[in-house]
């Protein structure tokens, strides 16, 4: 379960591993990557199938990252997420955001057993300030129906 403090704690860290950045334009992971960069985040993309995406370096694993990061955003197919969570833990990353749709029971159970702070069932773009466009509407609707953690509902 996502705790009330987990979202602002995660969002306060500007450097993060970004696991699952697609090689293909038009995919949501590409939109999220671009929007996070526009908002001052430094996402280090991890994709084991390529060394560059749009001319930017892409890393094959956590071990290849040019510096230590404390957070990881996971946007992989759900059947790959548990393995990514294990690899993040082995790399010393203790705060994860598993983008909605990427969750798996095995990944969430692993986080619970290993004491890893995990956010799931939420879209990161609803919290990357300034929130714009349909993400702002999405956050407003989720707040109205009680799907956002209480503390997050107090941010604008």
| Mean pLDDT, the chain cut into blocks of 10 residues (156 residues total) | 77 96 93 95 96 93 96 97 98 96 97 96 88 67 67 39
The CA distance from 101 to 124, in Å, is 12
What pLDDT does 146 receive?
A: 72
What pLDDT does 151 receive?
A: 44
What pLDDT does 131 receive?
A: 73
User: Which class does domain 6-151 fall in?
Assistant: alpha beta
- In sequence order, what are the residues at sequence separation of 6 or more whose Cβ sits closer than 8 angstroms to the Cβ of residue 130? 39
Given CA atoms 85, 91, 96, 100 in this order, what sign does their dihedral have? negative
What pLDDT does 138 receive?
A: 64
* Contact yes or no for 104/81 (Cβ under 8 A): yes
Given CA atoms 97, 6, 112, 43 in this order, what sign does their dihedral have? positive
What pLDDT does 133 receive?
A: 74
Strand 95-98 relative to strand 117-120, pairing:
parallel
* Contact yes or no for 117/6 (Cβ under 8 A): yes
- The pTM for the full model equals 0.87
Give the DSSP H/E element, type plus range, for residue 80.
helix 78-90
What pLDDT does 2 receive?
A: 61
What pLDDT does 46 receive?
A: 97
What pLDDT does 5 receive?
A: 78
The CA distance from 128 to 131, in Å, is 6
What pLDDT does 130 receive?
A: 83
Phi, psi angles (nearest 5°) of residue 99: -55, 140
């Amino acid at each position: 379960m996502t705790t009330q403090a987990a979202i602002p704690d995660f969002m306060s860290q500007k450097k993060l591993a970004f696991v699952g950045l697609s090689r293909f334009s038009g995919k949501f992971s590409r939109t999220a990557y671009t929007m996070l960069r526009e908002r001052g985040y430094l996402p280090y993309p991890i994709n084991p199938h390529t060394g560059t995406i749009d001319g930017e370096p892409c890393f094959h694993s956590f071990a290849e990252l040019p510096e230590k990061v404390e957070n990881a955003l996971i946007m992989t197919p759900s059947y790959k997420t548990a393995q990514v969570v294990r690899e993040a833990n082995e790399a010393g990353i203790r705060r994860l955001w598993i983008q909605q749709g990427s969750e798996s029971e095995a990944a969430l159970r692993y986080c619970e057993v290993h004491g890893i702070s995990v956010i799931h069932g939420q879209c990161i773009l609803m919290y990357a300030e300034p929130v714009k466009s349909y993400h702002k509407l999405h956050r407003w609707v989720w707040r109205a129906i009680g799907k956002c953690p209480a503390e997050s509902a107090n941010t604008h």
